Amino acid sequence: MQYSQKVLDHFMKPHNIGKIENPDAEATEGSPACGDQVSIQLKVNPETQIIEDIKFQSYGCASNIATGSIITDMAKGRTLAEAKEITWKEAADELDGLPPVKMHCSVLAVDTLRKAIKDYEVKHKLSEADKFNKDTIVEELKKVIYPKVGEDIVSLKMVKYAGFEDGVAIIDLEIPKFDKYRDNVAEEIQEHLEKFKEIKDIKITM
């Protein structure tokens, strides 16, 4: 697997690593059991809503650490509204690219940043907590990356149906039986959806 020099630099000497004492907001996404986890903490100026300090901790591979490092660099000094607009593709581009099978690390870093911003907004009554529904599932599936090409499964039109009924998330995927990434995609869907307390069971058909 070929990493860019920027990925290696951020892996060897990550920026903004550590914890903030009494952070204004924080979030953790992923799971060490599944291979990757990122935690992000924020210190925000309440008048300007500029992110004045941001730290991260990462449990995972080189690209997981590098994306945590670059996303905190990109968010620091921006307003909350500006930081929310950072995409996982922009983060990967800032690292001069990531191997397709590692694009999910960039998604995880951006997702954690957005969750930390949401935590700040809810705590300061700037917005309400998200309400769970079928659209929540579709939005979460947009964070599942097909490793072969490094794009999400919704944009690739691999999701033929996504529903939610009586606590069961129902996902219908179009992916050939001979596809070597078939199990990886199913496992990542499980990982993304099982964090929602509203979901009691996940049924994936392929």
Active site residue 61: no
First and final CA of the chain: distance in angstroms?
A: 29
b/e string for 123-133 if b means 16 or more Cβ within 10 A? eeeeeeeeeee
Which helix (H) or strand (E) segment is 204 a member of?
A: strand 201-205
CA distance 3 to 64: 12
The per-residue DSSP string of 121-181 comes to HHHTTSSPPPPPSHHHHHHHHTT-EETTTTEETTTTT-EEEEEEETTEEEEEE---TT-TT
What amino acid is encoded at 116 in this protein? Answer: A
Catalytic residue among 17, 20, 34, 101, which? 34
Of 25, 65, 71, 105, catalytic: 105
Residues with catalytic annotation?
A: 34, 105
